[in-house]
Amino acid sequence: MWKQPAPANSSFNDYNTFPLPQTQRGQSSHAHGPVGHTQQPLVTGTSVLGLKFDKGVMIAADNLASYGSLARFRDIQRLHPLGKHTLLGVAGDMSDFQWLKKELDALLREEDALALSDSHPSLSPKNIYELLSNLFYARRSKMNPVWNAVLVGGWDKVKEESFLAYVDLLGTTYTAPTLATGFGAHLAQPLLREAFEAKAGINGDGPLLTQEEAEKVLDDSMKVLFYRDARSINKYQIATITAEGVSISDSKSSDTYWKFAEGLRGYGAQTQ
Amino acid sequence: MFRNSYDSDNTTFSPQGKLFQVEYALEAVKQGSAAIGLRSKTHAVLLTLKRSTGELATYQKKLIRIDDHVGVAIAGLTSDARVLSNFMRQQAMRSRMTYGRAIPVGRIVQSIADRAQTNTQEYGKRPYGVGFLVIGQDETGPHLYEFSPSGTAFEYYAHSIGARSQSAKTYLETNFASFENATLAELINHGLSALHDTLQQDKHLSLANTSIAIIGPSDGEIEDLNHSSAAKRGNFRVWENDGVNNLLRAWRRSRGENEDGPQEEEDKPKPEAEAETAQSAEGSEQAPPGAPAAGEDVTMEE
Amino acid sequence: MTSIGTGYDLSVSTYSPDGRLFQVEYAHKAVEAAGVAIGLRCKDGVILGVERLLHSKLLVKGANRRIASLDEHIGLASAGLLADGKHLARRGREEASSFRENYNSPVTVQILSDRISAYLQAYTCYGSVRPFGLSSIVGGVDKTGPKLFCIEPSGVYYGYRAVAVGKGKALAKTELEKIVNKNLESGTEGGLTVREAIDEVARIIYLVHDDNKDKDFELEMTWICEESGNKHALVPEDLLKSAEEKAKAALEEGMEED
């Protein structure tokens, strides 16, 4: 009954050398070392921008997937339509994004299959956003986050209004008429807000931007991001979601002006 | 002991391709007291006839709320109904939790139908002995479904299950064309008339034995909105006991009958007594009525 | 039937002395009572049609469909026990979805039919289950083109140009054979276009239906073709309506000839 005190490291069993009967409950799984989860993203996409306008919502993202600081994949689409009236713009880990696409596509495919039998409409943008919020929060709570920041844009057919919301790897969620992830939250969000509030006012109760105005604001913001975000490239797409559905533009580039760079110390021709 | 050698378990087909155990389970539904469902463009309602096992017992409830937008009426084995309605509640909650969406009515009914189907195909199980009428509303409007132990779920404009439900069906079949554009009050009156037809001679609909469930916008004329926030929101609500008084009165009025109900109750001065009379009267109707009417649909095949 | 009362027909895991599985044969009987289901492979797609018998006039029009989707590009029309049909459709969807999960590519109609048939077959092997009371038509368009299969309760399945199951399948098959033979003779091996086939399938279902003996019915048709975006979808309302009218007209014409 009164045993000798056990040697301190027996509670570790560092090398998994104890005979099985002596293994304490719960110890065997730790015997192989701590449980490992994703602790950093690998191939990443940078900012995604979202902006509501008078007939819907637009989402923009560039075509780059970086491997660290290397511009590794330069033709990646980070805008993914889900059904007729929802679109995801995804920043962060691209393999997690690809997994997410596959899961959500399978879910919506099942919804569509069932709809043949009962004619019930598929999941709304709000429903998909709710699912993503739950998923991201559940995964971060398991210390195994889905390493993305996502903008969900859509058209709510019942309320006849646009939908725009944000969710990220921490399970953080919010919604606003202008949204941006990552670097864009610092550099582009002020520009988007300024343009939005110039017409709609601080409360957003005035007229919204027109489609042309909204696209111009996004073009300008993407240019600023290209100038200042070292993980971006000058090649991006804009998705437009309205009552008619989702359309994703071809890739496009901003006109850039680099003359000023001549005068920058360390960049131009000067030696000093 | 058995009626034939093919009816002792649920995994045996008869030479005619029938599953006798399933058909017997459908009989269990007919032993339960009647339930009626009907729907319009805007509303879906359920009406049930409650039974009590004796003067000391309360009347057995037959309406179960599943979620704000779904509810069921049962006929048959009450304990099986509890298992299935519990499962429906889980499904409804799951949909709200994960998608923030009220589960589509057809899907939730199909989920119990799928469960019931496995009970007709695996040895050692028995088919459920309960039938449901399910009302609900979703993005595609109000719905009425019938779930049966054979594992099927059908959508109806109007339907009835349980004891003597064939009489109600006859009423519904002659009148259902007008249900589509009916008001809530009209719909309930039709329902009560159909329910009335399932009663044995000299039995009456009363506060004690009638319960009504509604989904769809409320009608202050016949519903007591002060006592039901569900009614105000158009959610699933049940009216029974005193709550069903207005509805019964409106129905009797529409038939040109005495609002207070049948003659013998008029002698009793107090309304409390009215309920009591009805209770003992209903209590005597415990024995299930005889063989179900011919022509009741047995819907395993089609 | 001589099998009755011998005791060899009570379990699917018991052979009769002459090597038959009576329970599987009885399962076939459950199919024979069901409204007919038809599949027709066309040159540019596949079309499925069923005679949806209505056991009550209180049933909602156009609801309670008997054809199910297994994947974007594959449909299932079954005849037999309705609840078994839902069970099988659900399983079919799971198979199709697991194929996509594993191979990141849509399943072919052949492979899906094969998997479904294996599932059905398993229900003929054990005394603890009963076979499905179903004959199922699986139709779709995949990378190999339009494909059509029919799976029996035993699990056996074959590919078809055209197939019919359920009550009145014999008559339906005769009509389908005429269409197929005409195509073969005229050298149009691929057969009709789906547009043409809509009218044919509707006509056959109306022909097979016996107004005097059978309950009322609704015609239900789906297709997979370019016009439906190579997706399994309901045949559009206007096409269905016109096909029904033509079918009724053809029926009256036929009666006058008699």
Q: Looking at C24-169, which runs of residues are DSSP E strands?
A: 37-41, 45-53, 67-71, 74-80, 134-142, 145-151, 157-159, 162-165
Q: Give the full edge-to-edge strand order of the sheet including C45-53.
A: C162-165, C37-41, C45-53, C217-225, C233-234
Residue with tokens 């520009």: A191
The residues of A assigned a catalytic role are 38
Closest Cβ–Cβ partner in B97, B99, B104 for A120? B104
Distances in Å between the alpha carbon of A208 and those of A55, A60, A178, A216? 9, 18, 11, 14
Contact status, residue B4 vs residue B16, Cβ threshold 8 Å: no
Choice between A177 and C215, residue whose per-residue pLDDT is larger? A177
Please name the chains neighbouring C, where neighbouring means 3+ C-beta pairs under 8 angstroms: A, B
Look at residue A20 in the predicted model and tell me its pLDDT: 56
Please name the chains neighbouring B, where neighbouring means 3+ C-beta pairs under 8 angstroms: A, C
Closest Cβ–Cβ partner in A118, A128, A134 for B107? A118
Q: Which of A95, A108, A109, A111 should be substituted to probe chain C, the one whose Cβ sees the most C Cβ atoms within 10 Å? A: A109
The neighbouring-strand residues paired with A51 are A58, A178
Q: Which of A168, A186, A193, A190 is nearest to A89 (CA)?
A: A168
Residue in chain B lying closest to C22 (CA): B15
Provide the shortest C-alpha distance from residue A88 to chain B (in Å).
Answer: 16
Q: Please answer yes or no on whether B107 and A124 come within 8 Å at the CB atom.
A: no
Percent of chain B with pLDDT strictly greater than 90: 78
Q: Please answer yes or no on whether A106 and C222 come within 8 Å at the CB atom.
A: no
Encode pLDDT of C102-123 as tens digits: 999 999 999 999 999 999 999 9
Residue type, B47: L
Provide the shortest C-alpha distance from residue C70 to chain A (in Å).
Answer: 6
Residue type, C129: V
Provide the shortest C-alpha distance from residue B67 to chain C (in Å).
Answer: 23
Check CB contact of A126 with chain B, cutoff 8 Å: yes
CA gap C37, B250 in Å, rounded: 48
Q: Please answer yes or no on whether A121 and B97 come within 8 Å at the CB atom.
A: no
Which ipTM did the prediction report?
Answer: 0.93
Q: Which of A116, A118, A120, A122 should be substituted to probe chain C, the one whose Cβ sees the most C Cβ atoms within 10 Å? A: A116
Query: How many of the other CB atoms lie within 10 Å of CB of C199?
Result: 18
**Which residues 6+ apart lie within 8 Å of B128 measured at CB?**
B25, B76, B77, B80, B83, B84, B116, B119, B149
Q: Please answer yes or no on whether A106 and C93 come within 8 Å at the CB atom.
A: no
Q: Please answer yes or no on whether C101 and A110 come within 8 Å at the CB atom.
A: no
Check CB contact of B104 with chain A, cutoff 8 Å: yes
Contact status, residue B237 vs residue B228, Cβ threshold 8 Å: yes
The neighbouring-strand residues paired with B132 are B74, B147
- Which pTM value belongs to this model? 0.89
CA gap C193, C195 in Å, rounded: 5
CA gap B233, B225 in Å, rounded: 10
Look at residue B275 in the predicted model and tell me its pLDDT: 40
Q: Which of A129, A49, A143, A135 is nearest to A90 (CA)?
A: A49
**Which residues 6+ apart lie within 8 Å of C63 measured at CB?**
A118, B154, B155
Q: Which two structure tokens, joined as six digits, stand for B81?
A: 């109904």
Contact status, residue A265 vs residue A234, Cβ threshold 8 Å: no
Closest Cβ–Cβ partner in A120, A126, A127 for B140? A120
Residues of B in contact with C90 (CB under 8 A): 114
Residues of C in contact with B17 (CB under 8 A): 26-33, 133
Percent of chain C with pLDDT strictly greater than 90: 83
Q: Please answer yes or no on whether C29 and B156 come within 8 Å at the CB atom.
A: no
Pairing of strands B210-215, B237-240: antiparallel
Q: Please answer yes or no on whether B138 and A120 come within 8 Å at the CB atom.
A: yes
Residue with tokens 């179903």: C134
**Which residues 6+ apart lie within 8 Å of C199 measured at CB?**
C242, C243, C246, C247
Contact status, residue B232 vs residue B170, Cβ threshold 8 Å: no
- Position B300 confidence tier, pLDDT thresholds 50, 70, 90: very low
Residues of C in contact with B134 (CB under 8 A): none
CA gap B45, B196 in Å, rounded: 15
Provide the shortest C-alpha distance from residue A112 to chain B (in Å).
Answer: 13
**Which residues 6+ apart lie within 8 Å of A193 measured at CB?**
A178
Closest Cβ–Cβ partner in C100, C101, C232 for A116? C232
Backbone phi and psi for residue C134, each to the nearest 5 degrees, phi listed first: -145, 140
Q: Which of A110, A117, A118 should be substituted to probe chain C, the one whose Cβ sees the most C Cβ atoms within 10 Å? A: A117
Look at residue A31 in the predicted model and tell me its pLDDT: 55
Check CB contact of B138 with chain A, cutoff 8 Å: yes
**Inter-chain CB pairs, A–B, below 8 Å:** 33
In C73-193, where does DSSP find H-type helix? 82-103, 109-122, 169-185
Residue in chain C lying closest to B110 (CA): C86
In what helix (H) or strand (E) does residue B116 lie, and over which residues does it extend? helix B105-118
**Inter-chain CB pairs, A–C, below 8 Å:** 33
In A92-228, where does DSSP find H-type helix? 94-118, 125-141, 183-187, 189-200, 211-228
Tens place of pLDDT per residue across chain A (272 aa): 456 655 555 555 556 555 555 555 555 555 556 667 767 999 999 999 999 999 999 999 999 999 999 999 999 999 999 999 999 999 999 999 999 999 999 999 999 999 999 999 999 999 999 999 999 999 999 999 999 999 999 999 999 999 999 999 999 999 999 999 999 999 999 999 999 999 999 999 999 999 999 999 999 999 999 999 999 999 999 999 999 999 999 999 999 998 888 777 777 776 65
Please name the chains neighbouring A, where neighbouring means 3+ C-beta pairs under 8 angstroms: B, C
The SS3 of residue A28 is helix
Residues of A in contact with B106 (CB under 8 A): 117-118, 120
Contact status, residue A120 vs residue B107, Cβ threshold 8 Å: yes
What one-character DSSP code corresponds to residue C147? E
Provide the shortest C-alpha distance from residue C107 to chain B (in Å).
Answer: 25
Chain C segment 51-70 residues within 8 A of A by beta carbon are 63, 65, 67-70
- Please work out, in degrees rounded to the nearest 5, the angle formed at the alpha carbon of residue C215 by the alpha carbons of C214 and C218: 110
- Position C135 confidence tier, pLDDT thresholds 50, 70, 90: very high
**Which residues 6+ apart lie within 8 Å of A119 measured at CB?**
B140
